[in-house]
A = this chain, B = another copy of it.
């Protein structure tokens, strides 16, 4: 059957392209991690992969499209970092641990964190859809907050609202820390974050763990 041969070829082609695509993203990813966002240029990616820049443009349209994929990888890593947190039964401690895991993700994957939540690459600004995907990586935190305000009205909206307040706080501590503003400050950044979190959880989730 001629058509079978053709479709077989087509399938092989598709698979090859998929592998190439993943290979490119792997190389771009290690470039990002090992040498920072500044090293993430189309030419360097092409050199690392061993192809011309043309391939990158036919495959991802432009730099924005390529980095979009790295953004998604960052979302995965963040989600997995939160999933790795064991639920200690105590909701307060759990929320606490989720926030510290978020910080762990940020410090352990500074370059991913930077392209997701800071504007370090002039050519890249996450689209509205991707901003939403980024937020949704925090689902576990939102769920924990949902659990801790169960019984109240408009749990869904309130949970997201509180999550965003906590998120912003954690983000702010990380942002200033990464900029270097907390070097030589006497107190460890983590301790400062913990103090802020304690205050926020106490005030925003006053009914939490009262039955434990």
Q: Give A contacts to B, CB under 8 Å.
A: 37-38, 114, 117-120, 122, 126, 128, 131, 134-135, 157, 160-161, 164-165, 167-176, 179-183, 185-187, 192-193, 195-196, 198-200, 202-204
Contact = CB atoms under 8 A, between A and B. Distances in A.
A144 to B, nearest CB: 18
Contact of A196 (B38, B168, B173, B187): B168
Nearest to A177: B168
Contacts of A195: 165, 204
Contacts of A185: 160-161, 164
A169 B175 CA distance: 10
Contacts of A119: 114, 118-120, 179
A176 B128 contact: no
17 contacts: A37-B122, A118-B118, A120-B122, A126-B179, A126-B180, A128-B183, A131-B179, A131-B183, A160-B185, A164-B176, A167-B176, A169-B173, A172-B173, A199-B202, A199-B203, A199-B204, A202-B203
A170 B118 CA distance: 15
Given A118-B119, A169-B172, A169-B196, 18 more contacts: A117-B181, A118-B118, A118-B175, A118-B179, A119-B179, A120-B120, A131-B183, A157-B186, A161-B192, A164-B187, A165-B196, A167-B172, A168-B176, A171-B176, A195-B204, A196-B200, A199-B200, A200-B200
Contact of A192 (B126, B128, B165, B172): B165
Contacts of A196: 165, 168-169, 200
A38 B122 contact: yes
Contact of A186 (B118, B161, B200): B161
A126 B181 CA distance: 10
